[in-house]
């Protein structure tokens, strides 16, 4: 091979010349071939320009939702940065690369993965060297998502309040939207009235055209998240019709955006909303769409999320044993991403599946774990439903022990009867 016959020094010079000519030839459009330029400048021993183009290549692949490719470019850029002198410019480059890397890792690993925390923690350290607190905004946003998904709600709320302070000082609409989303989604787990205040402000600020690009910086489209979580909040506060409207708006907005992670977020959230309404067919449709997209894009957290909801929907159609295992496997996969939040809810789905199978004792054991998690984390949004399920299972156990069993076909099922109700209970009439 001719390339192998060229000396190492000659190769360096050739790559320098090729890179410079390609860069000059493309001018302002050099970013279109950023990955190719990065290779030439790296092999041409021009680490500074290689880092510049690796950052651009990472951004381009992020815009295509090619997260694995993004991570490869940004990780290489961070490695090359370590060969450069420790200057303010290098610190700025490293911060920019870490922020982008954090968003890509959220997609491929989940919000609570150790790599996500490590990436944003390093970015936060770098912020201390820069005299611009606003540059820390996406870093704090990423850390807040990590702590919320770990069910560390006090820390998540404190970070959300810092975000709001920074956004108000900057008077930047994208930052304000992100801050209200952050506080709204955190408060939803413990204080839904306050959550709705922030989510409503976020929806009022949202401009799909203006704010869509920020999704690549923060992980998801903050506007559609506000609509999606507002649907949950309205349901729990006793406004089911308004909640349904917001839920449908969230799905439509997410489908219009070219951002798969945001769509996965909204599809799973919509499935939860319909599960609260006991609408099995709608749960199944949204869950299966989320599973398909998450599998195609490589989003393990949302694949697990959708799988549990699909399992619940199909369990009510009689495929109980198989779907019980599906919910259990989904819960294991969810925990494997480091996620602690929503576990009481998922355990409730599992407990209900046990009830459908006629195993109330197993369901009660699962609910005991769920209620322990509520006490431990303060995640109380689904607590009323946990107690309703507990009552149903206790009644089922009593009936099982005091009455002579009848054939399954002739026994009334409180679980399938609940599925036929248009609104369901979920903690209220």
Domain annotation covers residue 361: yes
pLDDT, tens digit, 9 for 90 and up, residues 2-37: 556 666 677 677 767 877 787 777 777 777 888 888
pLDDT at 361 over 70: yes
CB 15 within 8 A of CB 23: no
Domain annotation covers residue 92: no
Q: How far apart are CA 17 and CA 284, in angstroms?
A: 57
pLDDT at 427 over 50: no
pTM score: 0.89
Among 315, 369, 321, 361, which Cα is nearest to 343's? Answer: 369
Domain annotation covers residue 314: yes
Domain annotation covers residue 324: yes
- The torsion region of residue 391 among left (phi > 0), alpha (psi -120 to 50) and beta comes to alpha
Domain annotation covers residue 174: no
CB 235 within 8 A of CB 384: no
DSSP 371-409: HHHHHHH---TTHHHHHHHHHHHHHHHHHHHHS----GG
Q: What range defines the domain where residue 359 resides? A: 271-429
CATH number for the domain including 407?
1.25.40.10
CB 393 within 8 A of CB 351: yes
pLDDT, tens digit, 9 for 90 and up, residues 248-295: 999 999 999 889 999 999 999 999 999 999 999 999 999 999 999 999
Cα 199 to Cα 234, 303, 342, 412, distances in angstroms:
11, 26, 19, 41
Neighbours of 169 (CB within 10 A): 11
Q: Count up the domains in the chain and report the number.
A: 1
Among 78, 120, 82, 127, which Cα is nearest to 103's? Answer: 120
Among 123, 84, 86, which Cα is nearest to 101's? Answer: 123
Q: How far apart are CA 294 and CA 301, in angstroms?
A: 8
pLDDT, tens digit, 9 for 90 and up, residues 22-77: 777 777 777 788 888 888 788 888 889 899 989 999 999 998 889 999 999 999 99
């Amino acid at each position: 091979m001719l390339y192998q016959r060229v000396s190492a020094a000659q190769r360096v010079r050739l790559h320098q010349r090729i890179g410079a000519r390609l860069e000059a030839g493309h001018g302002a459009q050099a970013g279109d071939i950023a990955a190719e330029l990065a290779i030439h400048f790296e092999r041409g021993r021009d680490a500074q320009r290689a880092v510049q183009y690796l950052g651009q290549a990472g951004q381009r692949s992020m815009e295509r939702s090619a997260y694995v490719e993004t991570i490869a470019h940004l990780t290489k850029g961070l490695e090359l940065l370590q060969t450069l002198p420790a200057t303010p410019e290098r610190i700025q480059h490293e911060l920019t690369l870490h922020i982008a890397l954090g968003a890509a890792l959220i997609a491929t690993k989940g919000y609570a993965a150790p790599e996500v925390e490590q990436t944003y923690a390093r970015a936060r350290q770098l912020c201390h060297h820069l005299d611009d607190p606003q540059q820390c905004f996406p870093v704090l946003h990423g850390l807040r998502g990590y702590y919320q998904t770990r069910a560390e709600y006090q820390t998540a709320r404190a970070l959300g309040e810092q975000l709001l302070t920074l956004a108000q000082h900057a008077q930047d609409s994208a930052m304000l939207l992100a801050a209200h989303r952050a506080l709204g989604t955190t408060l939803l787990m413990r204080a839904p009235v306050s959550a709705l205040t922030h989510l409503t402000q976020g929806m009022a600020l949202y401009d799909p055209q203006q704010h869509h690009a920020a999704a690549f910086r923060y992980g998801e489209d903050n506007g559609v998240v506000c609509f999606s979580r507002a649907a949950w909040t309205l349901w729990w506060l006793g406004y089911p019709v308004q909640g349904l409207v917001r839920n449908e708006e969230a799905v439509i907005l997410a489908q219009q955006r070219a951002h798969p992670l945001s769509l996965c977020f909204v599809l799973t959230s919509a499935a939860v909303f319909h599960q609260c309404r006991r609408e099995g067919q709608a749960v199944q449709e949204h869950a299966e769409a989320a599973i398909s997209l998450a599998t195609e894009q490589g989003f393990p957290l949302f694949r697990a999320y959708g799988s549990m909801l699909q399992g619940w929907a199909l369990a009510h159609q009689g495929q109980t044993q198989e779907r019980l295992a599906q919910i259990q496997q989904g819960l294991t996969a969810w925990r494997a991403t480091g996620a602690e939040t929503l576990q009481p809810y998922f355990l409730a789905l599992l407990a209900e599946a046990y009830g459908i199978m006629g195993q109330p004792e197993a369901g009660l054991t699962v609910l005991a774990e769920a209620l322990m998690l509520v006490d431990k984390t303060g995640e109380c949004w689904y607590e009323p439903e946990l107690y309703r399920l507990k009552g149903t299972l206790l009644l089922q156990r009593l009936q099982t022990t005091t009455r002579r069993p009848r054939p399954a076909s002739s026994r009334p099922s409180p679980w399938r009867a609940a599925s036929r109700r248009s609104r369901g209970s979920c903690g209220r009439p």
